[in-house]
Amino acid sequence: MDTAWTWELSGHCAKYSFLTDPKGLTMREVEHIFQLAPEPPVHENPSDYIIQAVQSRELCWFSFFLHHYENRLNNRVRRFLLREGLDRYSPERFWDYKMGCVLAMLDCLREYDPAQGTDFLTYAHHFIGNALLTCRMQEEAGSFENVDEYKAVRGIAWLYNQSGQSEQAAIQKYAQKNGCTEETAAKFLVLAKQNRSRVPFYQTVQDEDSEETGEDVSRDDHWDYAEILWNGIRAEAVREAFEKLNYREQTLLEKKNAICMTCGRVSPISTRLTFEELAVLFEGSTASGAERAYRKAVEHLACLLTEAGVLHIIRLKRKSQTKRKKKIAAAVYLYQVDNDGEWGEVSFDFEAGTAEIVRLAEWDTTVSKNFAQKAIQYILTCNSKLCKETTLIYE
């Protein structure tokens, strides 16, 4: 910061001291590091502390801001680590990412002008996101010139993985969308693949800024549910549900996803077993048999998590369909929510691209309607690859 700024916190001290545990930092320490005692002055809007800091040039107000904003900051860092498939129980890593965000906010403080009428958290949101990505970039095996190039590599990786198209088609689509040449887009995809081959398994999602993210460009087409098992779900509930599975189900889930169901640690993608390898592990089984057993294990775990109130399950069964010129023109699907009660019914007209709820599950006009709409959205995006029966899982 500029020398004109001062940072004096007389009358306040850290509310939670470091335990100096021989094993290192604890999550309690890194999640409460900015808590002060006694309680700082209270403002309804956290940005009011920033305005005070800018006007007085005293950074004690920034410390007061961190005291009240820390829980939200913890949540943002935690969500980012979850989406990246990183070890969220590593206090040292959590601390590094968190401090990167704080440094980004301090940089924003230099340029922030309250007179412009923009809330500080809105102003700093993008820069905090860049700070998280910079921390992630520095952990990657690949080499990137800057965070903008890293974003581009992540973006084309996400596009290639989600589109299901060839490399060339993905390159053309990315170039058109981002206004760059196909040569540049191809370079980004090469970087993504080189980096992807040397880093652990990541979730493929969109970040808080709706920027495309994730690097799972390996195109592994098996029924993968690592995200369902851990992403955003309370770890304690997962562990309790996992313990209710039999040994074979537990082994299938852990070996296929290369994920420790006890701590949530994700291992490198190269350690994930194929269905052929799982079949060898359980003598007498075939690859298709191992796949069916794996799917049943995932469904069993999802059902247990549904009973615990962590997940929601929508079961879909095709009741009938109508074809015109060898294409499915219309269909009727039954749906059930959370494995309980009466089935609802939805009618689809694929030629018109429309759907109609014929009957709500449980005749519930509030909760069930939301799930019916999710089912409609899923079926309408399936296009020609309509399923006879499937299970959708939502948090």
Cα separation of 27 and 16, whole Å?
Answer: 12
Average confidence (pLDDT) over 4-33: 79
Cα separation of 349 and 188, whole Å?
Answer: 40
Cα separation of 394 and 257, whole Å?
Answer: 19
Average confidence (pLDDT) over 137-162: 78
Give the position of tokens 């997940």. Answer: 311
Beta bridge partners, 328, equal 323
Cα separation of 72 and 90, whole Å?
Answer: 19
Contact 266, 259 (CB under 8 A): yes
Cα separation of 231 and 257, whole Å?
Answer: 13
Q: What is the percent of the chain with per-residue pLDDT over 70, rounded to a whole number?
A: 78
| Contacts of residue 140, Cβ cutoff 8 Å, sequence gap at least 6 | 150, 195, 199
| Contacts of residue 221, Cβ cutoff 8 Å, sequence gap at least 6 | none
From 136, 274, 129, select the one nearest 215 (Cα to Cα): 136
Average predicted confidence (pLDDT) for the chain: 77
Least confident of 80-84, 142-146, 214-218, 246-250: 214-218
Residue 131 pLDDT class (50, 70, 90 cuts): very high
For residue 318, pLDDT beyond 70: yes
Residue 369 pLDDT class (50, 70, 90 cuts): confident
Sort strands 344-349 and 327-337 into parallel, antiparallel or unpaired.
antiparallel
Phi, psi at 12, each rounded to 5°: -130, 150
Residue 104 pLDDT class (50, 70, 90 cuts): very high
Higher pLDDT, 264 or 173: 173
Beta bridge partners, 37, equal 13
Q: For residue 233, give the 3-state DSSP assignment.
A: coil
Amino acid at 35: Q
Higher pLDDT, 328 or 226: 328
Looking at residue 232, its pLDDT comes to: 44
From 297, 279, 230, select the one nearest 259 (Cα to Cα): 230
Residue 222 pLDDT class (50, 70, 90 cuts): very low
* CA–CA distances in Å: residue 15 to residues 22, 28, 35, 94: 21, 12, 5, 20
97-106, 160-169, 301-310 — most confident range: 97-106
From 316, 331, 291, 341, select the one nearest 394 (Cα to Cα): 316
Q: For residue 391, give the 3-state DSSP assignment.
A: strand
> What string of DSSP letters covers 103-141?
HHHHHHHHH--GGG---HHHHHHHHHHHHHHHHHHHHSS
Contact 224, 257 (CB under 8 A): yes
Per-residue pLDDT reduced to its tens digit, 171-212: 888 888 888 888 888 888 888 776 654 443 333 333 333 333
For residue 231, pLDDT beyond 80: no
Looking at residue 256, its pLDDT comes to: 83
Residue 214 pLDDT class (50, 70, 90 cuts): very low
Looking at residue 227, its pLDDT comes to: 45
For residue 44, pLDDT beyond 90: no
H or E element in which residue 322 lies: strand 312-324
For residue 322, pLDDT beyond 80: yes
Looking at residue 383, its pLDDT comes to: 53
Instruction: Enter the pTM of the model.
Output: 0.49
Beta strands in 8-112 (DSSP E): 13-14, 36-37
Contact 346, 378 (CB under 8 A): no
Average confidence (pLDDT) over 153-179: 81
Average confidence (pLDDT) over 354-368: 73
Looking at residue 97, its pLDDT comes to: 92
Contact 188, 151 (CB under 8 A): no
Least confident of 22-36, 217-231, 275-289: 217-231
Contact 342, 334 (CB under 8 A): no
Per-residue pLDDT reduced to its tens digit, 275-308: 888 888 877 678 788 888 888 888 888 888 888 7
Residue 338 pLDDT class (50, 70, 90 cuts): confident
Looking at residue 103, its pLDDT comes to: 93
Average confidence (pLDDT) over 151-165: 78
Give the position of tokens 């304690």. Answer: 236
Least confident of 163-177, 205-219, 308-322, 348-362: 205-219
Average confidence (pLDDT) over 303-322: 83
What are the structure tokens assigned to 29, written together?
Answer: 């320490």
